Structure formats: C-alpha cells, structure tokens
Amino acid sequence: MPQPFSPHPGGPRAHSAAELVHRVSDPFGAIIAEFNYFVAERVLYVCWHGHLTGELVIRVAEASLPWIEQLHPLGLVNDKRGTTGDWGDSIDWIQFEWLPRAKQNGLFAFAYVMDPDTPMSLENTSVADAIGEELDLRLFYSLPVAWKWLRQRVQKTSNTSAA
C-alpha cells in the first residue's frame, strides 16, 4: 500500500497526517506526481518526479481536477524540487482549463516549491506567472517555509469565512 507523504518522518508534526489520494504515471509507467491531501489544513500537496514536459504537466493537472472538485482544497503545495524540464507549452491549458475549475472549487493559494540550485526557465516562469495572476502564489526554496505561509493563508481565509 502506498504511504502518504510525511515532511518530517519520525519528527514532530507541523500539520495533520496526509492521505495519499492519487499517483500519476508517465506513458512508460514511471510515477511523475503524487497527490497527498491534508484534511485539517484543506491542502493538496503535489510532489513531482523526473523530467517534465508540457504534456506531462497537463496530464498531472488533468488528474488533479477530480480531486480538487471532490476535496475543495483551499491551498496547493506544488513541490517540483528535484525535477527538470520545460513545461511552458502547457500555459494555455493551465490558464484556460485548470485555473478556472480550480478557483471555482475553492482553491485560492498556491505554494510553488523549487530547488534553489535549479533556475526556472523563462517558459516555466510564464506558467507560474499565469497562475499568480489568478491565485495567491508564492515561490519557495524551502518546504517548511512554504507550509508555514500556506497554513497562514488558509487559516486567515477560514477565519474570515467563518465570521
């Protein structure tokens, strides 16, 4: 049975336990993304693997939509540390297909985690910029810092909507 993501194995928990809800594979069967959901925080964590193309990014984004529609996460951690590739050609699909549906189902905050040693290409930056025009997006080099920011954003929104 697949194990859910744990940012601090054996250590103190900074957030609730994750539930592994889905894995996406490339055409050759290699896992390219795993979706973990943190119920208490209402956050979907997407951990990417390998060399990514626009086609693979669209495949993962398409696969995320049923989970976004079912779970209604408020935030998303997009962890692309350790990945390579250019996926700028996915911008139109992300902008005109994925973003409207994600927003419609409550997603408003997007924490983009990347390697500090791997600069983002201009094409990939255009995808992040398109997302940032519609959602509260921040770029991070540290997963714990990304979680802290996202947790604050989600709590702030949850408190505002509960009032």
For residue 102, tell me if it sits in a domain. Answer: no
Provide the domain limits for residue 33: 16-78+113-119
Tokens of 149: 């920011």
Q: Assess whether pLDDT exceeds 70 at residue 56.
A: yes
- Cβ 163 vs Cβ 154: under 8 Å: no
46: in domain: yes
Task: Answer whether residue 91 is part of any domain.
Answer: no
- Is 66 inside a domain boundary? yes
Percent of the chain predicted with pLDDT > 70: 86
Let me know if residue 96 belongs to a domain: no
Give yes or no for residue 8 having a pLDDT over 50. no
Torsion 53-83-113-122 (CA) sign: negative
Q: Which residue has the tokens 């103190």?
A: 12
Count the alpha carbons within 13 Å of 122 in the hemisphere toward its beta carbon. Answer: 0
Beta strands in the chain (DSSP E): 18-25, 31-38, 43-48, 75-79, 109-113, 136-140
For 57-110, the pLDDT digits (tens) are: 999 999 999 999 999 999 999 999 999 998 889 889 999 999 999 999 999 999
Specify if 35 maps to a domain. yes
Question: How many distinct structural domains can be found in the chain?
Answer: 1
- Write down the pLDDT at residue 156: 78
Question: For residue 12, what pLDDT is reported?
Answer: 39
Task: Please check the confidence at residue 45 and state whether its pLDDT lies above 80.
Answer: yes
Three-state DSSP class for residue 49: coil
pTM of the model: 0.84
Judge whether 64 lies within some domain. yes
Q: How far apart are CA 141 and CA 15, in angstroms?
A: 19
Residue 68 burial class via C-beta count within 10 angstroms: exposed 0-12, middle 13-18, buried 19 and up = buried
Q: Quick one: tokens of 128?
A: 């992040």
In a domain, 99, yes or no: no
Sign of CA dihedral 29, 130, 38, 152: positive
Burial 15-41 (b: 16+ CB within 10 A, else e): beebeebbebebeeeeebbbbbbbeeb
Answer yes or no: is pLDDT of 122 > 50.
yes
The position carrying tokens 């927003």 is 103
